[in-house]
Structures are given as C-alpha cells and as structure tokens.
Structure 1
Amino acid sequence: MKFRALMQDAMYMREFQAIVATLAKLAKDCVMILGDRQMHFIVNEDQSSAASPLVWATIAADEYFPEYRMEAARSDQEYIVLSMSSANLGRALSVLRGGGVSMCKLKLQRIQFPCISVIASVQSSSSSEAREVVHDVPVTIIPASDWAAYVVPRVPNSQLALSLPSLRLLRSLIDKLKNISPSLEFQASFDGELSVIAASEMSTVTSRFQKLLPRSLTVSQQEASCSVDSRKASAFFGALQLSNEELTIGIDQEHSIHLQIDVRQDVVLHSILPAVCV
C-alpha cells in the first residue's frame, strides 16, 4: 500500500492543521481513512471521558492537495485505514501554524514501524535556504477484516436545520449554560428561531436566536426539538480551532443533533450529539 499527499497553499495548510488540532482536543486517538478522492478523520467517544462527542471530518483531496496518491494493499480495496494518536499528529502538524512554510508532504512509510511522515519545508529567518522539518507519527494499519468497526458515520435525517451566522456567540453561551443543567434542549422552528434551554430545580434559562436561515429537510415539519448532554455540546464547541463562523444545526426529533461546519465546499466537520432522557 502507498499514500502520498502534498500541500503548498499556506491557507489550506493552516486549515488542515486546525481540523486535526480540533480532533486532538476531543480524543486521544483518531482513525484516518484514505480513499482515492477523499480523506476522513474520525474520533469516537473517548471511553475515558463521558463528555467526548462523536466528531468526524471529510476532506476532498483536490481541495487541499495538488498531489494526492493512494494505493490500497489490494486492487479490490478502496481504502487505507489507519489508527493513530491524534495528539501526535496534531503536534507534527503544528509547524503549519507559523509563517514561512512553503510545502508539506504526508507520506505513509515504514521505518522501524508504520508511520505517517509529516515533512515540511520551512524558510528560516536567519538563512536563505529552507530547512526540512520531519515528524514520524506511528500508526496502526487496520486490516480489511476489521473495517466494519471504522466506517464513516452517517449524517442523521434531520427534520429541521438552521444556519447560525455566529458560531462564537453560541460557543460562549453553551459554555455558561453547561454549569446550570446537565442537559440542554434545542428547539427550532421553520420561521428561523432557535431556542437553547437549560433547566434546573432553581431556574430555567432560555436563549433565543431569531431570523436564522432555515434548511428544512422535511417540508411538513414546522418545529423540532432534542435534548443533549451539555458537557458533550460544550466539549465540541470548546475544541474548535477553526476560524469559520457559520454553523448548521440539524435536529432529528428526540434522537440527535447534527452540528456541521463547512470549512470549504467539500471540506466539512461534523458532530453528532445523541439525545438524552430528561
């Protein structure tokens, strides 16, 4: 099997690093699924933390990588599936946050162990010549017989979805509401109103967002609501390292909430917050 990808645009490199940094804040390990045209990252709920949500990212290869090559172990296989430390990958990519990086390569290779090598060309302020910075991130190659446990999650069928123009405001709100109630209820209406409710024995706090853009998937559905774990919601928003402001919240009535950040047209960060009983 072979994998090699090249990034050269500074903005795209910073976005890619921010996506991985977000995942690294949510769980110790992540799964990397390499297809011939798409790359996926998945972090499942951390067994050591009940507040860790399910989050995944889907990246179209041609958005970030002018050169992208993937060859599976066998001709009848469509993917390479790898497991690795999200923290180690995040540290390896942290060089992309600074200036002076003209190129970054990702390469699957075996040195003393299977690894993803992150190779960055960095222009030094004290020299006219670029220096090469290399980090080898150990990976576990998942055999095809185990792929069923590592599939990309499906986006739930939301009855009602609203687009929020201010991600920062909602993040600050949820950070405060998690201290009031262990659960948060999201109520959405087709007229563009979203209510976030935190209730306790002492008080009920309701925050409303109005004049939002509705994206209803079920035309007959005028309202939808769902209660989710406030710690999981706060963990997702607190981990975000992306500068994008717009967020889409989809509600699958009394089943789950789907959070979606469109970094680019074909680069999307997802999270699913399952419903809780209140």
Structure 2
Amino acid sequence: MRFRGKLVDIGCIQHFSRVTSTVSKLAKNCVLRLTRDKLYFILSEKAVSGEVQIWCELTQSHFFDEYAMEGLSREDANEIYLDLIPENLVKALRSSQSAKWVKLKLTKKQTPCLSVEVSLPSLTGHDRLVVHDIPVNVIPKRLWDEFEEPELPKFDVNICMPHWKLLRNIVDKMKNLSNFVVISANGSGELRLMVETDMASVSTHFRDLTNATWNKDDDGMDTRADSPALDPQQFVEARVDIRKFAQFLAGQQVNPYKIICNIVHNTTLHFFMLHEDVSLQYFMPVVQS
C-alpha cells in the first residue's frame, strides 16, 4: 500500500486544516478512507450506544496538487482505511498556516504512520522542513464493510437551518437550563428549539425557512415548499442531548453555506452540512423522553 499527497495552494492547506479541525471536535477517533478520487473521515458507531455517526467527504482534486495512492490491489481493493486520532492531524497542521507546501505520506516507522511534512520559509532563505509522524492502524479489508456510508431513512421533514453561528449562541444559553433540547420542524419552513425545566418551558421559533430534499445520486440539493410525507403544518420532533448539539455547532470551522436538518419523528436526527468541496453528514442519537 502506498499513499502520497501534496498541497501547495495556501488556501487549500488552510481549508484542509479547518476540515480536520471540525472532525476532531466531533470525534476522538475516526477512520480516514483514501480512494483515487476522494478522502473520507468516518465515525461509525451504533446510535443505540449513545454515540454519533459522521461521514465527511472531500474531493481530493479540490485540495491536492499531487495525489497518488495504491491500495491492496488495483482491481477490487484499491482503497486504504486508516484508524487515527484526528486531533493529532490537527496538531501536525498547525504549523502550516504559512507553509510553502504540505505533504501527507503513508510511511512505515516502528509502526505505520501518516507522516505530515511541512515546508516553512525562514529569514535565512533556506526552507525549514518540519515532519510529524502520526501513528495509525491499517484496517484490514475484511472490516471495510463496517465503514460504509450510513443508509438514509425516509425522513418526515427536511429543513434548511438558520446560520450556525446564530444557532450556536441560542443553544449555548439553552444548555444552562436543561440537558436536552427538542428540535422540531414542519413542511412550512418553521423550526423550533425547546428546552423544559420543572419551572418553565423556553423555546425559540424560526419562520420562513426553506424545506429541502437532497438527491444523493445527483449530489445536489433541491428545494420545495412542502414536507415530503406529512401535512405541511404538522411538526415532527427529536429530543437530543443539548451538549452534543452544542458541540456540533461549535465544531464548525469550514463555514458551510447550508446545513440541512432531517428528522424522523422521535427516531432520527440527521444533519447534512454543505460546502463547495466538502460535505459532512452527522447523525445524532435521539433520547426518548
């Protein structure tokens, strides 16, 4: 197995750093899947265990000036799966904000490593090369099925959320009142966040939002005015850990242009974050009242 990628454009280097930072704030461990055309950061835990699921997808040509990889075989297994701690990758990239280039390589030290080489300018005119070796575990092919893209259910409602910074400020105040938040929406562009205590119920309402459906095959987003299955005025809801929701909002570093909230009533809460060259799916476990 071999992998080597080089980022030269400083904008691409910084953007890649922001993506890895977002993932690191959502997952302590993850799997980095490398294919010929894309990179994926994956966290696949069963929702019943109280953990989240993450599927972050990047098109390699939008980031890398040079990219070469070779998996177990070129025919049926031309992929590489690496188990790593994303925070280690974030630390390795912190010195790259003024880098001339950054290289990522799969290397063999005492253990398999994802080596990050950063070329930095200096006052003497001689470039400095900083190398970080991040220990990784290579996942065997027999386990790859555990890291497939999460299957999407038929959602009761889909809605485009307000700007994540506005939501973050609201949720940060709400989490001082309760451990849980009920997120509800309908097919008429209304979204509601509500927390309850023994003394009171506090809610925030948003109106005139856009209902949306995501066509995965076309890798695009279509908007429409009504809910896909229910009376447009009927709210569907999901109750979740408010700290996990706050963590999701606080972790956004890539400034997505759209976040879609998808709900199966009292069963599933799914967020789909869209950027020009990054998409991130985030499943949050629902807590029954």
Give the TM-score, by structure 2 length.
Answer: 0.85
Aligned residue for 1:101, secondary structure, equals: coil
Question: What per-residue deviation string (whole Å, max 9, x for no partner) do you get for residues 175-218 of structure 1?
Answer: 22122222211111222111111112111111011221210475
- The answer to whether the aligner puts 1:93 opposite 2:93 as a matched pair is yes
In the alignment, the residues of structure 2 paired with residue 220 and residue 51 of structure 1 have an alpha-carbon distance, to the nearest angstrom, of 28
- The answer to whether the aligner puts 1:130 opposite 2:142 as a matched pair is no
Structure 1: give runs of 5+ residues left out of the alignment.
Answer: none
Q: Is the 8 A contact 2:272 2:281 kept in 1?
A: yes
Counterpart position of 1:203: 200
In the alignment, the residues of structure 1 paired with residue 17 and residue 213 of structure 2 have an alpha-carbon distance, to the nearest angstrom, of 32
Shift of 1:79: 1.7
Amino acid at match of 2:206: F
Shift of 1:34: 0.9
Counterpart position of 2:106: 108
Counterpart position of 2:255: 243
Aligned residue for 1:136, secondary structure, equals: strand
After superposition, the Cα gap between the structure-2 partners of 1:158 and 1:66, relative to the gap in structure 1 and judged at 3 Å, is farther
Shift of 1:128: 2.6
Shift of 1:170: 0.3
Shift of 1:51: 7.6
Amino acid at match of 1:128: G
Question: What per-residue deviation string (whole Å, max 9, x for no partner) do you get for residues 239-272 of structure 1?
Answer: 22333353221222222111122122x4112211
Amino acid at match of 2:255: S
Work out which of the residue numbers 175, 181, 188 in structure 1 matches 2:172.
175
- The answer to whether the aligner puts 1:79 opposite 2:79 as a matched pair is yes
Q: Is the 8 A contact 2:92 2:116 kept in 1?
A: yes
Amino acid at match of 2:103: K
Deviant stretches of 4+, over 6 Å: none
Question: What per-residue deviation string (whole Å, max 9, x for no partner) do you get for residues 95-144 of structure 1?
Answer: 23x2x2121111111122211111122222x2333222211111111111
In the alignment, the residues of structure 2 paired with residue 228 and residue 61 of structure 1 have an alpha-carbon distance, to the nearest angstrom, of 34
Q: Is the 8 A contact 2:2 2:70 kept in 1?
A: yes
Give the TM-score, by structure 1 length.
Answer: 0.89
RMSD: 2.3
In the alignment, the residues of structure 2 paired with residue 219 and residue 43 of structure 1 have an alpha-carbon distance, to the nearest angstrom, of 28
Structure 2: give runs of 5+ residues left out of the alignment.
Answer: 215-226
Counterpart position of 1:166: 163
In the alignment, the residues of structure 1 paired with residue 154 and residue 118 of structure 2 have an alpha-carbon distance, to the nearest angstrom, of 40
